[in-house]
């Protein structure tokens, strides 16, 4: 009986310890989740405050226009006017450079402003809301993998986009033929064997182009018409 009572008490203590450990683990998970939620909310508030300090209402401007608006708003303005809290954000997301005006005042200049607006990684940063340097790093890694696959496997399939492949082009010997532009006969130079890059679009991409993009006839170039008319006059 004594031995049975000792075993029962031992089991009760073990159960109590297990329940206490489970309670502590639950409290730790809850505290961690609360810290994560608080951190996310804190980051959002901090980002809103940065845009507000730059004179931009975060909630009244479409997400894909925020980065472009910063460039337009601050290009050519005095560096002394930039709030200290916004300096790390600007240096992380833009190529900002210090320039001087005729009076020696330091001004803000977004390097390659027009060119940067055309770059794909800048547009992706605006749409996704991610820092441009992160998007740029991902883009560079993606292009590096494309080149690596083309070299090693002679092709790569990009989901929902299509397939890039390297095709072998035979060498062509020197031959005699007629120039299709002038109509005169002559000799064509020999061409060595080479690689040709081929792109096969995915079905979804072809369907999107066929159904979602307006069919527009390209405008004729005036330069070609002018040249033809001059030849005709002669």
pLDDT in tens, 58-81: 888 886 677 788 888 898 999 889
pLDDT tens by residue, 122-164: 778 878 878 877 888 898 899 999 999 999 999 999 999 999 9
Q: Where are the domains positioned within the chain? A: 62-130
β partners of residue 156 = 164
| CA-angle at 164, arms to 159 and 115, nearest 5° | 85
- Region 29-48: mean pLDDT is 54
What gap in Å lies between CA 98 and CA 72, rounded to an integer? Answer: 16
Cα distances (Å, whole numbers) of residue 179 to 25, 141, 183: 82, 44, 5
Q: Output the six-digit token pair for 102.
A: 């005729």
In eight-state DSSP terms, residue 104 is -
Q: Output the six-digit token pair for 183.
A: 């109509």
Global pTM value: 0.47
What mean pLDDT is reported for the chain? Answer: 78
Going by pLDDT thresholds of 50, 70 and 90, the confidence category of residue 202 is: very high
Give the pLDDT of residue 9. Answer: 56
* Between residues 189 and 129, the one the model is more confident about: 189
Of 57, 112, 101, which is closest to residue 76 (Cα–Cα)? Answer: 101
What gap in Å lies between CA 48 and CA 137, rounded to an integer? Answer: 25
Going by pLDDT thresholds of 50, 70 and 90, the confidence category of residue 44 is: low
What gap in Å lies between CA 10 and CA 14, rounded to an integer? Answer: 6
């Amino acid at each position: 009986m004594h031995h049975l009572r000792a075993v029962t008490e031992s089991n009760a203590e073990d159960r109590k310890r297990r329940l206490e450990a489970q309670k502590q683990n639950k409290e730790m998970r809850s505290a961690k989740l609360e810290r994560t939620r608080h951190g996310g909310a804190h980051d959002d508030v901090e980002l809103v405050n940065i845009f507000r300090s730059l004179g931009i209402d975060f909630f009244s401007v479409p997400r894909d226009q925020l980065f472009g608006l910063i460039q337009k708003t601050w290009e050519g303005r005095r560096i002394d006017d930039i709030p200290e809290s916004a300096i790390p954000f600007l240096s992380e997301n833009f190529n900002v450079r210090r320039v001087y005006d005729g009076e020696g005042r330091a001004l803000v200049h977004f390097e390659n402003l027009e060119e940067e607006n055309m770059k794909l990684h800048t547009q992706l940063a605006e749409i996704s809301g991610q820092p441009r340097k992160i998007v740029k790093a991902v883009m560079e890694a993606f292009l590096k993998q494309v080149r690596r696959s083309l070299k090693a496997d002679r092709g790569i399939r990009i989901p929902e986009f299509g397939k890039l492949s390297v095709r072998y082009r035979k060498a062509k010997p020197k031959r005699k033929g007629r120039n299709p532009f002038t109509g005169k006969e002559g000799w064509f130079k020999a061409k060595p064997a080479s690689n040709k890059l081929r792109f096969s679009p995915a079905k979804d991409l072809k369907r999107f182009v066929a159904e979602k993009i307006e069919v527009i006839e390209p405008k004729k170039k005036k330069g070609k018409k002018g040249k033809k008319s001059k030849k005709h006059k002669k």
